[in-house]
Amino acid sequence: MTNTRKTPATATAAEPDTTASTAPTEAAETPLTVVGPPLRHGQKPETVTLAHHLRIGNEEYRPGQTAIVSPEYARQLRRNGYIARG
């Protein structure tokens, strides 16, 4: 079997470098680690500050720590008094 590797043509002065200029200008978002139940399609995560000690999965969260959770889980934690006020 013959290897037919093509070498890329070098960019000339007449061809502008389009790789950087046409790339999206949005900041590359790092994937957020959502604790608890996963996000549903179209949901945006919420950052909550905990009022009490809570264990989510294998992680221990102390009062005052923040966690990124789904909106439904934030609502549940809020009803149960685990999210700090204000």
CB 45 within 8 A of CB 69: yes
Whole-model pTM: value is 0.61
pLDDT in tens, 17-30: 555 555 454 444 55
CB 35 within 8 A of CB 47: no
Task: Return the HEC string of the chain.
Answer: CCCCCCCCCCCCCCCCCHHHHCCCCCCCCCCCCCCCCCCCCCCCCEEEEECCCEEECCEEECCCCEEEECHHHHHHHHHCCCECCC
Q: What is the residue-averaged pLDDT of the chain?
A: 80
